Amino acid sequence: MTADRQPHPLAAGLLPANWDEGTPDPGRLAPEHAAHVGELQRAGADLAAFFARAANGLAAAADLPELDERHTTLLGRERGHVTLALGDLPHVPLEERKRLGRAYNLAKRWLGELEAAQRRALEQEREARGAGMLDVTLPGRRPWVGHRHVLAQIREELLDLFHGLGYSVYTSPEVEHEAYNFGKLNFPPDHPARDAHDTYFVSDTRLLRTHTSPGWVRAMEERRPPLRLVFPGRVYRAEQVDASHMDQFHQVDGLFVARDVSMADLKGTLNTFARSILGAGVRTRMIPIYFPFVEPGAQLDASCVNCAGEGRTRGPDGERRCAVCKGSGWLELLGAGMVHPNVFRAVGYDPEEVTGFAFGMGLERIAMVRHGIPEIRLFLENDMRFLSQF
Ligand code: PHE
């Protein structure tokens, strides 16, 4: 022992007066606490009193900084009371050294355990306080849910409309026999659509269907008239892709076969369709056009939704040509016509017995006209900024 060094026996008086204010309860931190005090009592009343106050002080620490400070006071590596007392032991006579050494080390361990338990308690309290700051009046975070693609919406709307007119849905394969896509639909052998430049062939006789009309042939081969069917699906064409062409897109065909179906029935059906999709004020016209599977064939146009059929629009910088209909006042909606007698013959129907009409439309085209979408590629790009608008 150096001359200026006083021995450091552990006694309650070493700790500050306000050290265990409050209602500390070390038993809350260590169930064996009372037994520990009792055990140290046997090594000395002073030591037991010191341990009891030290433990109270740890249990009374109000927050983590205070707990750190108290831990340093008791067990700090330089000047902690227990540390200093242990450091004095080599100078204590051997018999007493053994007894005190064991007791000090127990006190050190139990104080360490009490400190750790109080630290956990204070941390839990702090977390609970944090949770208490949750503002339950804030609006919740709604989980992200998707919605139907704009094309699916239009398809459902169309199928719903035609359902109301008595049509059922018929689906047929995307990989189709050449005979169903072309031959039985009265395409002449040299028709340009049959060329490998325009159609994706998967073998000599199989191809990706270029329209949904092969479904008529399949339906008519399976069933007897009368028939009232719609044919939704994806179709493929070997197109150079640009703002208004893609090499895959969607169609909905319609077919009505019975006795005495007339062009007037077709016209009425198409007008109902156009008004439902584009609004009651829309005007329509039919102009003749060639498709091998109908005779006569027609194209249905609707008055332009952008300029109300005027062909011109007025804006801040004066009057200009309508950009949507390119000044014509009309938008092309779909192809239609009376089913060609050769198509009936190909499926075993008697063209003297039945007549029918058919129509076919591109879903992308209908959506573009309806919503003023300028660019067909947007439908497949999966850009949420586009899709979330519909
Ligand atoms: N199938 C034709 C096409 O793909 C559309 C159409 C259907 C035309 C029915 C007339 C009658 O272009």
pLDDT on residue 4: 46
Query: How many CA atoms lie within 13 Å of 238's alpha carbon, on the beta-carbon side?
Result: 13
| Cis status, amide bond into 296, omega within 30 of 0 | yes
Nearest CA to ligand 1 atom 8: 335
Quote the pLDDT of residue 132. 67
- Tokens 């007698």 belong to residue: 341
Stretch 326-351: mean pLDDT, rounded?
96
Residue of 266, 293, 299 best suited for mutating to test ligand 1, as the one with most atoms within 8 Å of CB:
293
* Closest alpha carbon to 179 in 212, 198, 200, 207: 207
Q: To test the ligand 1 pocket, which listed residue (176, 182, 251, 291) has its Cβ within 8 A of the most ligand atoms?
A: 291
Most confident among 96-100, 210-214, 236-240, 325-329 (mean pLDDT) = 210-214
Residue 29 CA to residue 140 CA, distance in Å, equals 38
Global pTM exceeds 0.85: no
CA of 198 to the centre of ligand 1 (A): 16
What average pLDDT score do residues 141-146 get?
Answer: 87
Atom from ligand 1 closest to the CA of residue 359: 9
pLDDT attached to residue 192: 87
Of 252, 189, 187, the residue nearest 215 (C-alpha): 252
Structural domain boundaries of the chain?
12-130, 150-387
The CATH number, out of the four listed (3.40.50.300, 3.30.930.10, 3.40.50.170, 1.10.760.10), of the domain defined by the range 150-387: 3.30.930.10
Residue 265, burial from CB neighbour count under 10 angstroms (0-12, 13-18, 19+):
middle
